Amino acid sequence: MPIRQGDTLPDATLLRMGDGRPEEVHLSERLKGRKVVIFGLPGAYTGTCTTAHVPSFVRSMDDLKAKGVDEVICIAVNDPFVMKQWGADTGAHEAGITMLADPAAEFTKSVDMAFNAPPAGFYDRSKRYALVAEDGVVSLIHEDEPGTCNASGGAAIVAAL
């Protein structure tokens, strides 16, 4: 069953690029005592993810901070090298969005948000969603239908807060 409001997020070890090499990020450490928005999406450099989902959070960062959000994290089933470059190319890094890789889809599967779409070459990719976690507990979650970015976009999360 997919993660729901009131659930505690599982700990996960994700990756980001450090000084020229991947470094581990323990999700539980990022969530402890903080209000964090996490948005998951099918993949770096894919259509809707690049043209709509990430830009919606870039545009919404000031409003999210004004609502008390401490950090915004993007998680995709990609490697940390790709996530670093995609964050630079989309302006996500400049906006302050943390780009984390879930290369084996371990976190994505643990929250039951994985899907397969073989015709697109997608295996164990993330559904499109956004959630708010307060001290690791999901206080809000929005999931979109495939190919859309409405409920899980930055403006929708700002409005729901």
Q: What is the separation of C-alpha 113 from the centre of its chain, rounded to a whole number of angstroms?
A: 11
- CB of 13 closer than 8 Å to CB of 26: yes
The pLDDT value given to residue 1: 72
According to the CATH classification, is domain 13-160 in 3.40.30.10? yes
Q: Active-site residues: which are they?
A: 49
Read off φ and ψ for residue 60, nearest 5 degrees: -95, 0
Q: What are the domain boundaries of the chain?
A: 13-160
Q: What's the length of the chain?
A: 161
The pLDDT value given to residue 114: 95
SS (H, E, C) 2-60: CCCCCCECCCCEEEEECCCCEEEEEHHHHHCCCEEEEEEECCCCCHHHHHHHHHHHHHH
Q: 40 Cβ partners below 8 Å, 6+ apart?
A: 74, 75, 76, 108, 113, 126, 127, 128, 129, 130
**pTM score, whole prediction:** 0.96
Residue pLDDT tens, the chain, 161 long: 789 999 999 999 999 999 989 999 999 999 999 999 999 999 999 999 999 999 999 999 999 999 999 999 999 999 999 999 999 999 999 999 999 999 999 999 999 999 898 888 888 999 999 999 999 999 999 999 888 999 999 999 999 99
